[in-house]
Structure 1
Amino acid sequence: MVEIGYKLASEEHGPLDLVSNARQAEDAGFAFAMISDHYHPWTARQGESPFVWTVIGGISQVTADLRLLTGVTCPTVRIHPGIIAQAAATAAAMMPGRFILGLGSGEYLNEHIFGDRWPPAPVRVEMLEEAVEVIRMLWKGGMQDYYGSFYTLENAEVFSLPEILPPIYIASEGPISASLAARAGEGFINAGTNAEECLIVFRNSGGGDKPAYMEVSVCWAESEEEGQRNAYEQWPVAANKGGLNRVLPTPAHYEQLAAMVTLEDVAGNVPCGPDPEVHIKKIEERVRMGFDHVCVHQIGEQQQEFMEFYRKEVLPHFR
């Protein structure tokens, strides 16, 4: 049975709106929510990027059943994995049994801001694997020391540990990280690139029947044309190919890239408009790939209208 989730897009919404949207997503019947962890939005037009761990604290106080995972946190360059271990432990203590730590190798857009070198992809995956080891070591409790290839801990102890430790899911858009997700994670996340191929690698590398999450961007609007226009203006990155979303340093660069993208390019990747069958078809495509959790990202400001539409027209189909 597939579960449908709601994307809390930190690039588009301020902290109070994200907290409110999480509450409304729970009321609408979404099974889980995934919240992005960015320092910058993709473009200045998107206009937001609050600190995710503060927002999670707010969400914990206004929801009762909604499961929440970071989609995804990078614990390698901008923030040391020892800090992520503490932050995630606190989040899990505030949301017992319903917080999941989603980890990935990150984007240059967010991780270079302190002047750190941005390593090539294979090295980033090695860093991620070591970061997972650091996090799990700290979650064992007690004073810990660690001297690895990338990270050091000295006399570090996370005192506020939850009764139920959060599972770690790992994001992948390539075979190396898909293999890592299988051996080091309790679940798999894909944001929409090389999804089917990566899922096959994940399953064949030992992922077995672990949960597999995928993100799908849509744009509900009162007409297909309005939805296409909103998606093009607000989320042009939906048309980007290959590894471009990993290597550009600033929102301005993504805006320059967006100038080479057409409305048709974005509309070809994003279901738009008020026809429930269009939305259902997109989700069912992901289910046929083998994903058992599909997280739907509504582009733009019409979040409440989108949630009401899904409550009435889309979510019942998947029950």
Structure 2
Amino acid sequence: MSTPPIRFGYKASAEQFAPAQLLDFSVLAEEMGFDSVFVSDHLQPWVHDGGHAPASLPWLGALGQRTSRIIMGTSVLTPLFRYHPAVIAQAFATLGVLYPGRVVLGVGTGEALNEVTIGAEWPEMKERFARLKESIQYIEALWADERVDFEGQYYRAHAATIYDRPSADQRVPIYIGASGPAATRLAGRIADGYITTSGKDPSLYTDTLLPALHDGIERAGRSADDVDTLMEVKVSFDPDRHRALDDTRFWAPLALSAEEKREVDDPIQMQRLADALPIERAASRFIVSDDPDEHVDRIGQYLDLGFRHLVFHGPGHDQERFLRLYGNEILPRLRTRWGG
């Protein structure tokens, strides 16, 4: 098996932009040479004022019609409560038929922000993890077999059929998003790809997450090349360093600790917590730079760790500026040094 290529993608931040505007940015990303577009899936955004939350499923269908080359998917969607796994199986089967070889289903255990406000239960992580594992098995069964009987702990099906689904050689890959060892190990065992995010303590990747991923791969008797390793890299690049720093303000909620936001299910409350952060902490999850070579050096740490699919999240409101700067200044430097 040949080593998978290095890919560079664009994070379509659905929490920040209206659907049509976000679609235009993603089309421009393809024009500027990005290889993929991964979109957020939230019922509610991280901030109330100026926030957005378009539905990812119809949006991906529109993106497929407007583009011809990019890989597109969710980063990440939660097929546990708000979505029943059968709905996701049918939706992504349809996307896979419409755009064969271009669709990825990225899944995870979710955020209280998306579920609690509509009355969904929000159990402890142990149950959410078990539900995620079972939902993937459920989706895979519906894609693989003509008539499906499924009897799980949380989900059931009787003589169920997805009538329009990709052929076996057009199967939609499933990526698991995780920031802890258990779900990361699960990705290594059963998923086509692993998604995590940048800007955390380097030891989390080197001592916890990557060892867990490789442990899962080894336990399943797989090769490392069987699992795409996708890192969402939070970047703020601009020739004006003050602007690059200030652009991170909208995304200050990302700098909140897990403990600070664990039980927060209201965007107004989340925004209040984030607005209290100084700009230095708001920017702490981002690679902030005004020098393209220094910027590329800092991105390279994730490629050196072994991640082969970097999806860049630019925080500024002027996404056209970000995409053109990245397409002209950063992507060529990355490809010169690391290929792809």
> Structure 1 length normalisation: TM-score?
0.94
Conserved 8 A contact 1:182-1:203: yes
Q: Does 1:204 align with 2:215?
A: yes
The Cα shift of 1:143 comes to 2.7
Q: Percent identity?
A: 31
Say whether 1:8 aligns with 2:8.
Answer: no
* Cα distance, 1:188 vs structure 2: 0.5
Moved more, 46-55 or 185-194: 185-194
Distance in structure 2 (CA, Å) of the matches to 1:266 and 1:41: 17
User: SS of the residue aligned with 1:170?
Assistant: strand
**Equivalent residue for 2:196?**
190
Q: Which ranges in structure 2 are unaligned for 5 or more consecutive residues?
A: 219-223, 336-340
Return the alpha-carbon distance in structure 2 between the equivalents of residues 46 and 221 of structure 1.
Answer: 23
Contact in 2 for aligned 1:175/1:201 (Cα 8 Å)? yes
Task: After TM superposition, list the pairs within 5 Å mapping 1:91-170 onto structure 2.
Answer: 91-163=95-167, 164-170=170-176
Q: What are the residue-to-residue correspondences of 1:1-319 with 2, within 5 Å?
A: 2-163=6-167, 164-192=170-198, 193=200, 194-196=204-206, 197-206=208-217, 208-209=224-225, 210-232=227-249, 234-242=250-258, 244-319=260-335
CA 1:97–1:215 in 2, change beyond 3 Å: closer, same or farther? same
TM-aligned CA distance change 1:183 to 1:82, over 3 Å: same
Q: Shift of residue 241 of structure 1? A: 2.2
Structural RMSD (CA): 1.7
Distance (Å, rounded) in 2 between the aligned partners of 1:278 and 1:38: 33
1:221 to partner: Cα distance: 3.9
Deviation per residue, 1:90-132 (Å, 9 max, x gap): 1111211011111101001002233122111121111000000
Q: Which amino acid aligns with 2:209?
A: C
SS in 2 for 1:73: coil
Of residues 25-34 and 200-209 in structure 1, the stretch that sits farther from structure 2 once superposed is 200-209
Range 201-210 or range 95-104, more displaced: 201-210
Deviation digits for residues 24-49 of structure 1 (CA, Å, limit 9, x no counterpart):
11110011111111111111134111
Q: Contact 2:236/2:286 (CA < 8 Å) preserved in 1?
A: yes
1: CA distance, partners of 2:128 / 2:211: 22
With 93-102 and 187-196 compared, the bigger mean Cα shift is at 187-196
Change (3 A) 1:245 1:132: farther
Alpha-carbon contact 2:40-2:77 (below 8 Å) kept: yes
Distance 1:188-1:246 versus aligned 2 partners, 3 A rule:
farther
Q: 2:338: which partner in 1?
A: none
Task: Note closer, same or farther for the CA distance 1:23–1:297 as it changes in structure 2 (3 Å cut).
Answer: same
Q: Are the counterparts in 2 of residues 109 and 246 from structure 1 also a CA contact under 8 Å?
A: no
Alpha-carbon distance in 2 for matches of 1:148, 1:77: 15
Q: Is contact 1:238-1:270 (8 Å) kept? A: no
Which moves more between the two structures, 116-125 or 193-202? 193-202
CA positional deviation for 1:169: 0.8
Alignment check: 8 A CA contact 2:14 2:39 kept: yes
Letter in 2 for 1:219: S
Q: In the TM superposition, what is the alpha-carbon distance from 1:243 to its structure 2 partner?
A: 5.1
Question: What is the SS of the residue equivalent to 1:55?
Answer: helix
User: Are the equivalent residues in 2 in contact too, given 1:26–1:63 (CA < 8 A)?
Assistant: yes
1:105 and 1:125 in contact (8 A); partners too = yes
CA contact (8 A) 2:9 2:312 kept: yes
Query: Where in structure 1 do 4 or more consecutive aligned residues deviate above 6 Å?
Result: none
Residue type at the aligned position of 1:317:
R
